[in-house]
Chains A and B, each alone.
Chain A
Amino acid sequence: MINLPARDVLGNFLTYNGDKYQNMVVLNADLSLSTKSDIFAQKYPHRFFNFGIAEQNMIGASMGFAISNKMPIVCGFSLFTTGRAWEFIRLACHDNLNIKFITTHGGLVGGDGSTHSALEDLSLMACLPNLNVIVPGDNIEIVKVLEYAFRIPGPFYIRLPRGNLNVIHKKDFEFDPNAIDVIKNGNESNDICIIGIGSGSYIASQFALKLEQELHISIRILNQSTIKPINTKNLISLIKNDKNVIVIEEHNTYCGFGSIISRIISEYCPKKIKIIGIENSFGQSGSRNELLEYYGFSYKNLKKKILELLNEK
C-alpha cells in the first residue's frame, strides 16, 4: 500500500468498502482507468456509473443520488471536476449534500502540461460553505481521510496527486481534522514553522534537518491536510511561539492554502510568512523533478525563503 500511486489507494479503498457502504455509488466521467475507480466497477458493476466525458452531468446526477439517500463518490481529474462543473458543486454544497468529490491529478501533472494541471482547484473549493476540503500527505493518511469522509455526512473535496506520495506518517497514524498533525516537532518555540499540504509536507521534511544544521535554526513541520474547516484555535495555540511561517503547497499562490494561512495568522497572531507554491503560472510540461525544481520546491528555494525571513526586519 505504502508504495502505490495515490489513485490505486483510492480504487482499492472504494472496492474494499463496497459491502460496508451499501449506499455507495461511484460516478465517473470516462476516467475510471486513470482514477482507478475501474477496480470498483469490476466488483460492483451495478453501483458504478460512467457518464462519459461529461463532468457537469456527472455531478448533477450525483446530487440526485444524494437526495435519494445514496452516497455518491465522484471520481475524476482535479481540474475538470472542479473547474468544468464548479457551479454544480456550489449548489451541492449549498444544499449540504452527502457527496464525496475525490479527484486525482491535483497539482502539477508532468507531461500533460498546463491544460491538465490543477493549480486553482483549492481556490475554487475552499470558498464553498459546508464543503470539507482535505489534501492528504501520504497513502496512510489517504485511507484515514477516506474513512473519515465516508463516516461524516456532507460534501467533501479530497485532492490526490497523479503519482506517488512519500511517507510522512507512522503506520498507527489516526486522522482527526481538529488535531494539528505535527510531522516534526522542534522546540516550544522555533525559528521557522513550515506548514505543508499534500506533497509539500514531505518536501519540507526532506530538507528540514539539513537546513537546521546548516543555518543553526530550529524548524517545526505541520501537515495541515484539512484546509477547511481549519481548527484555528488549535493551530494558533501550537504555532504562536514560532517566529516565522512558511507554507508549501502544490497550488497557485494567488488564493490557495497559503492565502488561507496568511489570513489566519494576520488575524490571530501576526508574524512573518512566506509561501512556496506556483506563482503566476498555469504549469507546463516536464518531468516531475524538473517542474518541482523550476517552481521552487527545492532545497535552494526553501533556504532562500528562510534566509529572507530571518534577515528581513
Chain B
Amino acid sequence: MQISSIEEKVLLTDILKLKKQILKMIWIAQSGHPGGSLSCVNLIYLLYKKVMKFDAKNPLMEDRDIFILSKGHAAPALYAVLSKIGLIEKKELYTLRSFGSRLQGHPKKNKDLGIEISTGSLGIGFSVSIGCALAAKLNNNNKKIFTLLGDGELNEGVVWEAAMAASHYKLDNLIAIVDRNGIQSDGSTEEVMSLEPLADKWKAFGWEVIEIDGSNINEIINGFKNACKIFRKPTVVISYLIKGSDVSFMEHTRRYHGKPPNKEEYESAVLEINKQIEIIQGD
C-alpha cells in the first residue's frame, strides 16, 4: 500500500521538524546523542503515527501495543515524538537532561509518558521485550511488541540470547527494528566489530528478515505492517539509515554520536533542515 503524495509530504515535513526539535533539545542541554537520535526518529514517529495501536489520550490502555527504545541514548528522538503526539508539552522538551526533569538523559520508566521501561544500558530492552511478548501470548492478547535496537547494540551477547528465545517461542508478536546506521561509539560497525552478513545471522536464528531503506516512508510503513503479518516466528526490520541524517556535517560520522552541537553548528543545522522543508513544500 502506498500513502498519498500529500500525506507523504506532511510526514516528511513532520520528521524534519522533529529533527529540529531534537537538535534544539540537545543544544540547550549541551549534552546528549544527536547522531543516533536523528537516524531513528522517523522510525519512532511512523510507528506511533501509522502502525502502533496506541492512544496518546490513554497511554495506559490495556491492549496497547508496546514500544521499547532499547537504544535508550536516542531518548531525545522518543521525547520529540511523544511531544508531537501530545504526551509532552513542547516547553518541557527543553528540560532534557536538566535536574528534576522527567526527561532524563536516558528514558526513565513513566507510564504517563508511555515509557514502559528504563533503558540506556544496551541490550537489556530487547530482552525485556521477549518477556512482554511471552506475557501477551499467555494473556491471549494480540498486542504487538516493537523494540528499536542500535546496530552497535547488536554486539551485546544478550541480544542473541534473546533472538534465540524469540524464535524458540515463536514470538510472532515481536518485531525488532534495527537502526542500521553503520556507526557506533568508536567508529564504523564493521571496523569495531563486524556485523555482516547481518540479515543471514537473524535468519539463522530463526527470524523473518525485512530489509528497508530507512529514508523511504512507504518502505518503513509497509515494512512494519508486513512484519505484523508474519506467522509463527519473530520478525526483524533492518532499516538502513544514516547516522546524523539530514545534517550534512553530522552524517556518516561518529563525531556526533555523543557530542552536542555548539551554537554555530546548531544554527547551521537548523538552516539546512529549513531548506529541506522548503524544498518539500515547494514540490
Contact = CB atoms under 8 A, between A and B. Distances in A.
B72 A115 contact: yes
Given A30-B186, A116-B120, A51 B193 contact: yes
Contact of B106 (A32, A53, A54, A113): A113
Interface string B87-129: 0000000000111110011101000000000111111000000
Contacts of A96: none
A291 B118 CA distance: 20
Interface in A265-292: 284-287, 290-291
Given A30-B185, A54-B193, A111-B29, A79 B99 contact: no
Contacts of B274: none
A80 interface: yes
Q: Is the interface of B mostly helix, strand, loop or mixed?
A: loop
Contacts of B123: 53
Given A30-B192, A52-B193, A115-B72, A291 B99 contact: yes
A210 B185 CA distance: 44
A286 to B, nearest CB: 3
B218 interface: no
Q: Which of B104, B108, B153 has the most CB of A within 10 A?
A: B104
Given A33-B186, A285-B104, A290-B99, A112 B193 contact: no
A114 B108 contact: yes
Contact of A52 (B29, B152, B258): B152
Given A56-B157, A286-B99, A84 B121 contact: yes
A103 B153 CA distance: 20
B156 interface: yes
Interface in A93-133: 110-116
A31 interface: yes
A178 interface: no
Interface in A44-66: 50-54, 56-57
B29 A53 contact: no
B239 interface: no
Nearest to B118: A115
A38 B105 contact: no
B99 A294 contact: yes
A34 interface: yes
Given A33-B186, A285-B104, A53 B98 contact: no
B118 A114 contact: yes
A82 to B, nearest CB: 12
Q: Which of A57, A79, A113 has the most CB of B within 10 A?
A: A113
B245 interface: no
A29 B157 CA distance: 12
Nearest to B100: A286
Contact of B192 (A50, A116, A285, A294): A50
Contacts of A286: 97-100
B167 interface: no
B215 interface: no
A40 to B, nearest CB: 13
Q: Which of A33, A111, A286 has the most CB of B within 10 A?
A: A111
Interface string B184-222: 111000001100000000000000000000000000000
A294 B193 CA distance: 40
Given A52-B152, A52-B155, A30 B184 contact: yes
B32 interface: yes
Contacts of B192: 30, 50, 52
Given A33-B185, A110-B31, A115 B120 contact: yes
A30 B97 CA distance: 23
A114 B107 CA distance: 10
A114 B121 contact: no
B105 A113 contact: yes
A19 B134 CA distance: 54
A56 B122 CA distance: 13
Contacts of A80: 121
A57 B157 CA distance: 8
B97 A285 contact: yes
Given A53-B153, A291-B99, 4 more contacts: A31-B185, A50-B192, A111-B105, A114-B108
Interface of A: 28-34, 38, 50-54, 56-57, 79-80, 83-84, 110-116, 284-287, 290-291, 294
28 contacts: A29-B155, A30-B152, A30-B185, A31-B185, A32-B186, A34-B258, A50-B186, A53-B153, A53-B185, A53-B193, A57-B157, A80-B121, A83-B121, A110-B31, A112-B105, A112-B106, A113-B97, A113-B105, A113-B108, A114-B108, A114-B118, A115-B105, A116-B121, A285-B104, A286-B98, A287-B99, A291-B99, A294-B99
Interface of B: 29, 31-32, 72, 97-101, 104-106, 108, 118-123, 152-153, 155-157, 184-186, 192-193, 254, 258
